[in-house]
Each structure stands twice: as C-alpha cells, then as structure tokens.
Structure 1
Amino acid sequence: MGTKYEEDFCCIVCNDIFKDPVLLTCSHTVCEHCLKDFWEDIGAHKCPVCRRRSSKDQLLPNLVLKNLCETFWQERSQKPQAGCWALCKEHSEQLKFYCVEHDFPVCVVCQFDSKHTCHTIKPRNKFEPFDLKEELKLCLGRLKTKLEDLEEAQLAGDETTHCITARAIHIEKLITEEFEHLHRFLRDEEKVRLAIVRQEKEEKLQMLWEMSSRIRRKMTCINDTIKAIQRKLEADGVTNLKCL
C-alpha cells in the first residue's frame, strides 16, 4: 500500500483495500468474500486473524469502514501519483485516453461506453497532470441542469398551488352563494308558514268568539225568561199555577 494510512484500509487476507467488510464477533474485520474463501479452505468458521470461532449468522457489515474505503478509493482515483495514471471513478482503470467532445479524460472501458459513441478519443501524455478544472466544469453543468429541473419543478408546484387555491376560493364562493340562496328561501318559507298559522289562529279565535257570543245571548235570554216566570209566580200566587 505504501503508507500507514492505506494500511488501515487493508484486508489482512487479500492485502487490498476492503470490499464489503464484515465485523466478526472477535472484533476483527475482513472482506466478506475473503472470509468465505478462508472458511472454505480451512473447513471451519474461524477468524483469519486470531483463529477464534465465529458464527456465519453473527456477521455484521462494517458500514463505517466500507464508507471510509469508498471515500479513500475516490480520493486516490482523483489524486494521481507521480509517474502514474489517474484512475477512473467508474471502472478503476487508468485514464490513458481523452474524449475531445467531452474534453475529459477517459479509461479504456469508458471509450466504448455509449456516452462516448462516435466521439474522438485520443491518447494522453502519461505525465500530463490531472486537471480537475474540466471535471469541475462538467460538474457545474450537471448542477446547473439539476437546478433548472428543480426550478421548473418548483414553478410547477407554485402553479399547482395557485390553481388549487383559486379553485378552492371559487368553490367556497359557490357554496356560500348556494347557502345564502337557501337561507333566503327558508326565511321566506318561514314567513309564509308563520303567516298561515297566524291567520288560521285568528280565524279560529274569531269563530270561537262568535260561538261564545251566541251562547251568552241565549244564556241571557233564558235567564230573562226564568226571572219573568219567577216574578209571575210570586205575583199570582200558588192558586193560579194550574192555569199556566
């Protein structure tokens, strides 16, 4: 590896940067495929470092170390060493070629990729410094495109919000007008029905008053007749009662 920093990311079995590191119960970490090959070779589930037994069901992915190793690979691919080619991020191959149309270094695998179809591919000088300026330009272009997409999405969202708000206001207005019309109808209907009840009450009361008046007149007439008879009886005496 060359440096103590690189050795920290080195698997003891394959002596290379960790790939899919797993953590054993003894706290040692090795590549998952290296561990499986080691177990198959010795015919037992033991740690390659301390030889302690370990269960296959107890293997845990060392996600922190995996992320650190991936970051290390990216940094190493972006920082070529003296006299060495820089490495491609996608294929981990040396960037020995250059795409004229994209104005960007590519590896032997990239030049056959669909992204570079019909492009002019030229070999690069081995000692040509790896210029990140062009990569930053491409990254900037992608970010601008993404920003434009997000702005369009935001604009579409704003338009949708405006449409929803306008439609809600329109529907609220219609509902208010409908219920106002209904309230007017109910108020008018209330007035009509109350008027009918009052008129019916007045008519029935008038009828009862007239009936009561007739009864009082008859009662008065009868009382007068009774009084007249009593006076007659008192004036003529009992002897004249047979004549009546």
Structure 2
Amino acid sequence: ALRSTQTNKTRNKPEEMPPKSLDLYCPICKDVFKDPVDLLCSHSFCRECLNKWWKDKITPDCPICRRISPIINGISGEVICRPHGERFKLFCVDDEKLLCLVCQHSDGHYGHKLQPVNEVAQGRRNELRKALRPLLDKLKVFKEEKGNLDQTAEYIKLQAQQTEGRIKEQFRKLHLFLHKEEDARIAALRTEESKKTQKVSLKIDALSREIAALSRTIKDTEGLMKAEDAVMLQSFRTAAETIQQRLLLENPQPVSGALIDVAKHLGNLSFNIWNKMKHLVSYTPVVLDPNNLQPHV
C-alpha cells in the first residue's frame, strides 16, 4: 500500500551538505527520494521506482521484506475510489469495475448488475482455486517425470560401472597383449556415458525450470487469493491469464535412447578380439540386452 509522504528538507549549498542519511534515500535507486511513498510495512521508496518494481508482478510486494502491499490512497490500508475517496463496496458485473456507493448512482452504471465486493471476490477466488487444480496436477506430472529421470541418471552411472567391470574381467583374460584394445573399449564407454548423461541432464534442467515456473505461479496465485478483496479483483485477470499460459505447457516426454547401449560394448566382445587372439577366446552367439530387463527405467 502506498501512503504519500513529504520530505520537507531544506537543500543546502553543496559545500554545506550534511552527512548522508539513509532515511533520505530510496533503497531501489539509491538516490534521494522523489515523490516518496510508504508501504504498510513502513518501508519507503520513490513512487516511480516502486511502480517499476511492481510492473510485471501478479501481487504487489515490498522489495525489501516481500510483504504483499496493495496500492492505496491515504493511510487506511484499503483500496479506495480516487474520485470520491470512498471504500469500494460494489462490483459492476457488466463493466468489470469496482464501485463505491457514490459511483453506483452515476449514469455510466445505470441499470447494470451490481454485486457486493465480498461476494464477487469469493466467486473469483473459487475460479482461481478451480483453475489451479489442473496446474497442480501438471506440476505433479513434471515432478514425477523428473524423479524418473533422476533415477535414470543414477542407473546410467550404475550401468557404466557394471559394464566397465565386466569389460575389465574379460580383458584380464587376454593379458597385457589386450590392454590397448581394453583402453579403447573403455574410452568408447566413457564417451557414450558422457553423451547419455548430458542428454538426460539437459532434460532434467529443462524440467527444473518448468517446475520452478509452475511453482512460482502457484505461490503467487495462492498469495493473491489471500489478499484483500479489491486487491485480488484488480489482479485477477492477470493471474488467470498466467495460469492459462502455464497450462499450455506440454507434458514432459520420456527421453528416448537415454540408456547406455550395453550390448554394443559387451556384445560378442571376446569374439571381436578373436581375430587377434583366436586361441584365447570362445564365441558367444547371443547376448541379452540388460536394458530390456529394466522396464521400470
């Protein structure tokens, strides 16, 4: 809430300026107050600085303590009618405007449907509550998918460790002669692990950003629902539009080809080395793909 304040400080000559006082400076622009205003939380700012701070916000909060502070005229802590200085008691359904008891008698609203502010506000709160339900469901879906991807990332690491162990086990049978081949196989595995992990990490980061945006919208809307009736009505349309925009987000899709191609690294490994050391290896005609045994991943 804004309360106009006055700073009747006599400006001295530059050489006679008193020591700088933080009480005279806006916390946002760090300059002497211009058209200063107070919030209900007692923090003061330049009116223009505060309007810029609130420009893209659903709810007007204090830049310092984050307390929600609706814009007002005067010091009552309420949204009032500027032309008449009265509290808003009615809401014109036809014009979607707040009215005081004086406004209702104007020609502009003659014959229009008028309702008490508290009744309309409660109805709009119910609309926001209903609109939030699918958004909360969407947030749940995103969180579940992120959880699955977190498990996939861990399983990739486990696969890499297990596959590396099996590769080394087979290469140890080939003695020092096979060390060069072993190193090449491990390098290929590391490269694929890096690529697959990076792919999943990018998806996780994207989901984290979407979750943060959804959570922020939900938090802001829930905060607006707790605000004073007139304040909530002033910001209702913006809040509802923001919710609809968030609902347009497509649900996350599973990452295809995320897991390591274990069969490529282990498939007929000994046979592939057989050309170099035929007398040390045996051929395995079929190699099962462990990824097919993990339907939950």
TM-score (ref. length: structure 1): 0.35
Of the two structures, which has the highest relative contact order with CA contacts closer than 8 Å and spacing of 6 or more? 2
Higher share of residues assigned helix: 1
Larger radius of gyration: 1
